[in-house]
Structure 1
Amino acid sequence: MTIIKKKTSVITEESKVEEFLGRGIENFYPDREAVKKALMSGKRLRIYCGFDPTAEALHIGHGIQIRKLEKLRQLGHEVIFLYGGFTAMVGDPTDKAQARKVLTASQVKKNAMGWKDQIKNITDTKKIIFKNNHDWLSKLKFADVLELTALFTAQQMLARDMFQKRLEEGKDLYLNEFMYPLMQAYDSVAMDVDMELGGNDQMFNMLAGRTLMKKMKNKEKFVITTRLLEDPSGKKMGKSEGNAISLTDSAEDMFGKVMSWPDTIIAVAMEILTDIPMEEIKDWEKKMAEGVNPRDAKMALAYEVVKIYKGEEAANKGKDNFIRVFQEKEKPLEIPEVKIDFEGDEIGVLDLFVKTGLTSSNGEGRRLIAEKGLKIDDKLVEEVDKRVSIPESGLLLQRGKKQFARVVK
């Protein structure tokens, strides 16, 4: 029996294409009109976005790209989620003041293991294509690599801002870092794509792919760069800068982290992280300019973010927890219980907080005690050498305003 696959139809309705193009995008190459024309041509385009598994958890910055990729899939295009299984071992030097730590193949594989599960709420993992650039980059011979390097100049690579800064500071530049844009560029050739999507910080690497496609396949590759979620200092709210929302965060943590963001990024975050209508976002901007408490807008933002990644029930839970803990100054309804072992009847408070995971070291515990940041059963810990016993009911430990643990023996 012959199975006939149903051909996917491409949506060319101008309003829907404009909706995609008009939200959260920074740049188009060669230009906006050319990209729009391609999306409205009726041709099913092959479009990809790459992600290097340098950590076990994806963060919300990745989520921006994945959600845009999903929008393109819904328009009928063939979309590829590319694991950077090979490039992750080198490490992207973009925006880095020093060389990245080199990862092993086993570390990279371990990092990527849970990614499909992390993105299941923001894309249809059964309808997108997953590929890994280790499949082709690992098979290139030295002669192949030399042939590719001949298509780029050292001046092109040295023109990158972060390389210029390192040279000025006398810091090392490694040849494998020069190779990273070349490897990412070859991904486009290997998959024969029509378009690449990525954050604006990836522009150099993506344009290298555009150059390589022209030289090797005489083919136009379109590039779309998305806006970045940045704090007021210009740093990305991403994993490298240590202020990321991870897709593995709980609903409560995710909600709380959004509420901790500066007021200045509320409108941008609404645009690039959610589906809140642009008219509503402009209305929020107007209200805040007129003196409405930005907290209200941030609550709406946090709710939408958690709903997208965790679901509506989790969003309600996250909101209720935030109101309970931060606005009404009450304890969360769910407090993790930690069982610890120690010799004797008493344990020092520094060891106690380390064992429960609320502090990372005795040194951090001393600092927090000096800052009046640790409590046991609602009482401030004021002595670093204090020792306590643990009753059958356990002890309630608290760090700061929102971190709790009930410790039992």
Structure 2
Amino acid sequence: MRNLLEQLTDEQLAEVKRQLDMYTQGVEDIIPTEELEWKIAKSVSENRPLRIKLGLDPSAPDVHLGHTVVLKKLKQFQDNGHLIQLIIGDFTGKIGDPTGKSTARTQLTDEEVKHNAKTYFEQFGKIIDMDRVELHYNSKWLSSLQFEDVLRLAGKITVARLMERDDFEERIALGKPISLHEFFYPVMQGYDSVVLESDIELGGTDQHFNILMGRHFQERFGKEKQVALLMPLLEGLDGVEKMSKSKKNYIGIDEEPKAMYGKTMSVPDHLMLKYFELVTDLTAAEVQTIKTNIETGKLHPRDAKMMLAKTIVTMYCGAVEAEKAEQDFVTVFQQGGTPEFVPAMKWGKREAPLLDALVELNLLKSKSEARRMIEHRGVRVNGEIVTDLQFRLNAVDEPLLQVGKRVFVRLAP
């Protein structure tokens, strides 16, 4: 590995460093970093593009900002001339990725997979050049495997290794069942990398186990192992859970500009800089300037969030629509009204004290702060000011909760 770097010219070494710095920025983990550098060096030396894999199970039709964290990193590779291997898991999608699930997922039909995949393609085109993507459906090779082939593939992985998955361990500890077919999900995802001979696979940190399966099976089949490049997960509007449509805490990239702007204004303050870094086109230096200005008081957090909202809407809807969305937002709040689009937060409770809800939903930092806000008439439920510290919320009614002038949330049970 070191010998290859020593053979490169100064110009080639500079190019390797430039790409390595770009790909490592904002990444949570690289397994292993030295192999990533070697693969880039080999690509530069041989003038051969790397094969960059991203696997997707179209379990839901909408793309949200959480998905774009990986897609934006994919675009960096594409902009440097590397080959993007986009794998639609039309076969694995029928099983469903068990990652993070306490029960087996509902298996998708062929029609659902095709419909969701078509929507993905349309929305991905807002971020990457779909005309320069190598598109694959893994049913092409997985559906043709004979039972003997499946047994041979299963023989290359131990049950103990599969049981290292945290979600499987947790389900066994809780006495919850694991169906045999769920064990085959990471096996099939790993086999995708064998067939495509991928150099690098991208995914969120929750895909750590599945992506390492690619390295495992490539090695067992005598092929060069891929590098795992893991991106951080983006918390949703609740500030706690991973952004997800099922949790109703997401911002879709195909939403109406007003909805996109309004939802972004509901992003918790402590996540603002993470959103700037992971989902906008701002440079690291620009994000650092925003951070410094907030810390020194030059930039009010509210104005920073408006900048974030306008930047995101501009990226997906254009500058004109972003300007309209901002003006609508300002007008609504100057008149003391309620925004047209209010994000929903899943609470997980049917009924509880308002004080508890304000803290548990991360709308306020502590009960003492929540108590002060209520006493100072800063909390409304369904438009009515609440001053009773014993007031109880009923999430079944899906109440509209307002904290201060600009934070609006609709609770979901």
> How far has the Cα of 1:214 moved from its partner?
0.8
Q: What CA distance in whole angstroms lies between the structure 1 residues aligned with 2:62 and 2:144?
A: 28
Contact 1:23 1:272 in 2 (8 A): no
Give yes or no for the alignment of 1:317 onto 2:324.
yes
Aligned to 1:407: none
Of 113, 116, 141, 1:111 maps to 116
Aligned to 1:74: 79
Question: If each structure's helix is expressed as a fraction of its own residues, which one has the higher value?
Answer: 2
Q: What CA distance in whole angstroms lies between the structure 2 residues aligned with 1:183 and 1:208?
A: 9
2:131 alignment partner, SS class: coil
Identity within the alignment, %: 35
Contact 1:12 1:40 in 2 (8 A): no
Aligned to 1:178: 183
> How far has the Cα of 1:243 moved from its partner?
0.9
Structure 1: gaps of 5 or more residues: 1-9, 337-357, 359-363, 365-369, 375-398, 404-409
Of 281, 284, 306, 2:287 maps to 281
Q: 1:11 to 1:53 in 2, by over 3 A?
A: farther
Alpha-carbon RMSD across the aligned residues, in angstroms, is: 2.9
Aligned pairs for 1:18-57 within 5 A: 18-30=20-32, 32-41=33-42, 42=44, 43-57=48-62
The aligned amino acid for 2:286 is E
Q: What CA distance in whole angstroms lies between the structure 1 residues aligned with 2:31 and 2:24?
A: 15
Q: What CA distance in whole angstroms lies between the structure 1 residues aligned with 2:292 and 2:174?
A: 44
Contact 1:306 1:314 in 2 (8 A): yes
Q: 1:305 to 1:18 in 2, by over 3 A?
A: farther
2:221 alignment partner, SS class: helix
Contact 2:23 2:73 in 1 (8 A): no
Give yes or no for the alignment of 1:142 onto 2:143.
no
Runs (4 or more) in structure 1 with deviation over 3 Å come to 231-234, 326-332, 370-374, 399-403
Deviations along 1:144-199, one digit per CA (max 9) or x if unpaired, are 11111111111111121111111121111111111110011011111121111111
Aligned to 1:355: none
Structure 2: gaps of 5 or more residues: 1-11, 345-349, 351-379, 385-399, 403-407
Q: 1:131 to 1:313 in 2, by over 3 A?
A: farther
Normalised to the residue count of structure 2, the TM-score between the two structures is 0.75
Aligned to 2:302: 295
1:131 alignment partner, SS class: strand
Number of equivalent positions: 337
Aligned pairs for 1:6-17 within 5 A: 13-14=15-16, 16-17=18-19
Q: 1:205 to 1:373 in 2, by over 3 A?
A: same
Q: 1:93 to 1:12 in 2, by over 3 A?
A: farther
Contact 1:47 1:80 in 2 (8 A): yes
The aligned amino acid for 1:286 is T
Q: What CA distance in whole angstroms lies between the structure 2 residues aligned with 1:324 and 1:130?
A: 45
> How far has the Cα of 1:72 moved from its partner?
0.4
Between stretches 32-41 and 164-173, larger displacement belongs to 32-41
Aligned pairs for 1:316-395 within 5 A: 316-329=323-336, 371-372=381-382
Q: What CA distance in whole angstroms lies between the structure 1 residues aligned with 2:16 and 2:221?
A: 33
- For the pair shown, the structure with the greater C-alpha radius of gyration is 1
Deviations along 1:77-104, one digit per CA (max 9) or x if unpaired, are 1112211111111111111122211111
